[in-house]
Structure 1
Amino acid sequence: MSNNIVIVFDFDKTIIDCDSDNWVVDELGFTDLFNQLLPTMPFNSLMDRMMMELHSNGKSIEDIEKVLQRIPINHRIISAIKSAYALGCDLRIVSDANTIFIDTILKHLGISECFSEINTNPGYVNQEGRLKVMPYHDFNKASHGCTLCPPNMCKGLIIDRIQKSISEVEKKRFIYLGDGAGDYCPSLRLRERDFVMPRKNFPVWDLICKDPSLVKAEIHGWSDGEELEQVLMNLINKIMMEEHVQFIASDCKLATNSICSRSPVIA
């Protein structure tokens, strides 16, 4: 068991095998309107607008939940999540989706309890029964100041906060998994003892490959659920083995010091 590993997952195209925003819009028949509005506003604002359009056209939150419950999933990823949780890893989500979408899917998959924290755009159902989607960082009040990330969310700042919330004494090691351009900034915040798992041939992979030396963490790519599970479990086992070796070395050192500190026995 290891309590010294923090695993941070992106959600769309990482835990699930598509983009939850696009999935809901497409499945409920609003793709054309979505594409029409896409160039006119930030993506987070667009999703709030699309939820308004769905509600105006008679689509309920129950309709949205039913669509989310049939979203494409690779069950090897779910297996990896359950295994990592069972081994004592601290699992968290950092996603540019929203709380309603993520909570609905995690509950349907039976893995809600695996995650200690979910960082995403707030979503709630108002008194009229329509889903509202708000920005994680309220860019209408103030900018988060990062030029790499979309205005509503800087994942790098979230990783900074998580790192600062963990004392240096605990010596936690991070594994970060993602696919999108928004996962590049947090990858740059990882340290030398950490690991980043970018999805191969996706935007974050392309950005990292432009200059891998900018990333201090070890880079381990993955392409599908099977490879994600294999790479993640190998990294967890690697860290646990290193911890075990350090523990034995520390134990031996204490034993040696104890022997050396004893008074010599005179025959």
Structure 2
Amino acid sequence: MASAPAPGVVVVFDFDRTIIDWDSDDWVITKLGAADAFLRLRPTMRWNPLMDRMMAELHARGKTAEDIRDCLMSAPLDAHVISSIKTAAALGCDLRVVSDANTFFIETVLAHHGVLGCFSEISTNPARVDADGRLRISPFHDTAAAPHGCSLCPENMCKGKIIEKIQSMADTKNQHFIYIGDGKGDYCPSLKLSEGDYVMPKENYPLWKLICNNKQLLKAEVHPWNSGEDLEKTLLKLVNKMITPPAQVSSLDCSKCEMSKPASTEVGHHQALRVPH
């Protein structure tokens, strides 16, 4: 049995260049030989519909969903990041992913490395394989029916609104957040954090630069990181700071990471489902 949960510790991870040290869209497009089409189409399309179009391009070139899955599984994931995820989950933290990638990419990578079950929820752009075998990617927010209205975020996803949703479903007086990210889209959710929360921006990436230029706007305490090893040390230091007395990591059970699949928060399905462990 795992130890008693860390009371109210929610750890939110971005995915691209945070959990993974690369960009999943770029990895798939480049490794499967469609960079030429991407460069041609990029000036004419927004990112989310462009990724759906690129999946159509790969399909037209004979690449299957399994080819995409294999491509994603061939990419590296830092052992320190895997360890930090498993340890934080075993310590009782509520781990979540909030990402502008997509369900297919994220679930493939996390499952391949044995940490998918560590997460209670994944909030990202929905993806599915259609009847023709083509991977389809949709926006998280229905941009036509219900635009999110946030000027800081891309039209398909406001991560700040996702954080607000998580906060609204819990007792925020006894719940504290650690938000880990790198990109411009991670700035809005960082602004939603309160005193007693922490934000971990990747050094010299857009989130870090935005925070440095507007430090007075953040209520959360800032703890930068710059490598997988640094992420692990910083995250576990903060988690243990919230747990009294500090937990002994060596005695914890990480088996739940292998046992369950997180809920996915997708367009038209914004009420989170809890996953039994």
TM-score, length of structure 2 as denominator length = 0.86
- Alignment: residue pair count: 243
Aligned partner of 1:69 in structure 2 is 73
User: Greater relative contact order (Cα 8 A, min sep 6): structure 1 or 2?
Assistant: 2
Match of 1:189 among 161, 175, 192: 192
Quote the offset at 1:242 in angstroms.
7.9
Match of 1:214 among 213, 217, 221: 217
Match of 1:175 among 164, 174, 178: 178
Q: Which digits, 9 at most, give the CA deviation of each residue in 1:18-56, with x for residues without a partner? A: 010110000001112101111111100000000001001
Structure 1 Cα separation of the partners of residues 191 and 245 of structure 2: 24
Match of 1:151 among 151, 155, 176: 155
Structure 1 Cα separation of the partners of residues 41 and 124 of structure 2: 23
Asked if 1:135 is matched to 2:150, the reply is no
Letter in 2 for 1:213: Q
Quote the offset at 1:243 in angstroms.
9.4
Equivalent runs, 1:30-49 vs 2, <5 Å: 30-49=34-53
- Unmatched runs of 5 consecutive residues or more in structure 2: 248-277
Aligned partner of 1:257 in structure 2 is none
Asked if 1:203 is matched to 2:200, the reply is no
Q: CA RMSD in A?
A: 1.3
Structure 2 Cα separation of the partners of residues 32 and 126 of structure 1: 25
Structure 2 Cα separation of the partners of residues 45 and 242 of structure 1: 48
Structure 2 Cα separation of the partners of residues 20 and 207 of structure 1: 23
Q: In 2, are the aligned partners of 1:184 and 1:208 still within 8 Å (CA)?
A: yes
- Unmatched runs of 5 consecutive residues or more in structure 1: 245-267
Q: Which digits, 9 at most, give the CA deviation of each residue in 1:202-253, with x for residues without a partner? A: 0000100001111100000000101000000100111113899xxxxxxxxx
Q: 1:39 to 1:242 in 2, by over 3 A?
A: farther
Structure 2 Cα separation of the partners of residues 90 and 104 of structure 1: 20
Between structure 1 and structure 2, the one with the greater Rg is: 1
TM-score, length of structure 1 as denominator length = 0.89
Q: 1:200 to 1:52 in 2, by over 3 A?
A: same
Structure 2 Cα separation of the partners of residues 41 and 242 of structure 1: 52
Aligned partner of 2:241 in structure 1 is 238
Q: 1:143 to 1:242 in 2, by over 3 A?
A: farther
Structure 1 Cα separation of the partners of residues 134 and 7 of structure 2: 40
Structure 2 Cα separation of the partners of residues 168 and 161 of structure 1: 12
**Secondary structure, counterpart of 2:16 in structure 1:** coil
Letter in 2 for 1:87: L
Match of 1:104 among 99, 108, 114: 108
Q: In 2, are the aligned partners of 1:3 and 1:90 still within 8 Å (CA)?
A: no
Structure 2 Cα separation of the partners of residues 217 and 144 of structure 1: 24
Aligned partner of 2:255 in structure 1 is none
Q: In 1, are the aligned partners of 2:240 and 2:246 still within 8 Å (CA)?
A: no
**Secondary structure, counterpart of 2:18 in structure 1:** coil
Aligned partner of 1:126 in structure 2 is 130
Aligned partner of 1:117 in structure 2 is 121
